[in-house]
Amino acid sequence: MRIALIANYPNRAEYIENLINLSTKKHNTQISDIRTFDIYKNPVFPKTDEFDKFIFSGGALGVYEKRKYPYIVPTIDFAKKLIDKDTDVLGICYGHQLIAEALGGKVYKADHVEIGYKEINVHKEDPLFKDIPCQFNSFEFHKDAILSPPEDISVLASSSGCQIEALRYNNIVSVQFHPEIPFDIAIKVYRNQEKNLKINKLNIDELIKDSIEKYNEDISTKLMYNFLTGGF
């Protein structure tokens, strides 16, 4: 199995690769090649038939910031090529929003930042969530959300702060939450965002305690395993 990680922002692909390695070790899955394409540095994309799976990372940018980040447009175009070929694709956070944009949906800047471990509610059966509880917690950190879903897609999950936490279009799946972020990395995020947390009247100690209690490695590794082997 050959996997291409499309890194939309610095330091994002490494967490996904860590989850892939953890998941494949836990579930005895063989990976022949994982390659990262830092398209935020150089928007050169792999050939669509060069890999079996493509994963679009998150990032601290919005799909509407096309002037500020010129590589957004070619990334959307590349996503459209994968969609046309019905390739196996997973988008995470910004990658989720980018896929929605490529499918014709609309993304907007929300009136609040969602951060911390949130309850995800799965309300449609799907191979991505096979053997995963219909309610589970996962890390969230985003200021944007999908305003209107693309036509002909299935909304798989939601949360109290986001109506479209997961979607599917044929072999294309994406999630707003971050299965690749373990609690220790989440704590680093809180530390880095301490000033913004105070502005938004969020207690960092409570967030840390909540993260330690709610992080579930088995959920994250199982979700990644399902994407890699789920028979999409």
Domain count, the chain: 1
Average pLDDT, the chain: 92
Identify the band that residue 109 occupies on the pLDDT scale cut at 50, 70 and 90: confident
Note if 93 is an active site residue: yes
Q: What is the pLDDT of residue 159?
A: 92
Instruction: Quick: pLDDT tens for 34-62.
Output: 999 999 999 999 999 999 999 999 998 99
Nearest to 92 by CA among 196, 191, 17: 17
Q: What is the pLDDT of residue 161?
A: 86
Q: What is the pLDDT of residue 99?
A: 96
- Ranking 3-17, 36-50, 105-119, 160-174 by mean pLDDT, the lowest is 105-119
Q: Is the pLDDT of residue 14 over 80?
A: yes
HSE-up of residue 56 (Cα within 13 Å, Cβ side): 30
Q: Is the pLDDT of residue 110 over 90?
A: no
Q: Average pLDDT of 131-148?
A: 92
| CB contact set of 225 (below 8 Å; sequence gap of 6+) | 23, 24, 26, 27, 29
Q: What is the pLDDT of residue 232?
A: 52
Residue type, 33: D
Q: Which CATH number belongs to the domain containing residue 45 in this structure?
A: 3.40.50.880
Q: Which of the following is catalytic: 17, 114, 165, 180?
A: 180
Domain around 180: 2-229
Going 156 to 40 to 24 to 15, the CA torsion angle's sign is negative
Q: Which of the following is catalytic: 93, 96, 101, 142?
A: 93
Note if 96 is an active site residue: no
More confident residue, 76 or 150: 76
The residue behind tokens 């995963």 is 132
Do 187 and 208 contact (CB within 8 A), yes or no?
Answer: yes
Note if 119 is an active site residue: no
Q: What is the pTM of this model?
A: 0.94
Q: Average pLDDT of 206-221?
A: 92
More confident residue, 195 or 166: 166
Do 56 and 6 contact (CB within 8 A), yes or no?
Answer: yes
Q: Which of the following is catalytic: 96, 101, 165, 178?
A: 178
